[in-house]
Amino acid sequence: MALLGALCGWIIHAYIPPVYEAQAVFSATIDYTQTGMMTQFEQDQALNAVGHLIASGEVLDRVVSQSRTKGMSLTVAELRRMGTVERQVDAFILRLRTVNAERAAYLANLWAGEANALINDAQAHALQAAHLARYLQSLESCLQRSLVIPPAPTLCYQRSPTEIQNLITETSKQLQAERQASRNLFPGLLIQWVEEATPPTQPTQFGRNDLMLAGALIGLLVGIISVEVLPPFRRITS
The domain locations on the chain are 1-17+205-238, 19-202
> Rounded mean pLDDT of 65-92?
90
> Rounded mean pLDDT of 193-201?
93
Closest by CA position to 86, among listed 113, 52, 37, 44? 52
The C-alpha R_g of the chain, in whole angstroms, comes to 29
- Asked if 7 and 76 touch (Cβ cutoff 8 Å), the reply is no
Answer with the residue of higher pLDDT: 207 or 227. 227
Q: By mean pLDDT, which of 6-10, 24-28, 76-80, 111-115 is the weakest? A: 6-10
In angstroms, the CA 98 to CA 235 distance is 51
Please give the pLDDT value at position 92: 95
Q: pLDDT at residue 237 above 80? A: no
Q: Give percent of the chain above pLDDT 70.
A: 89
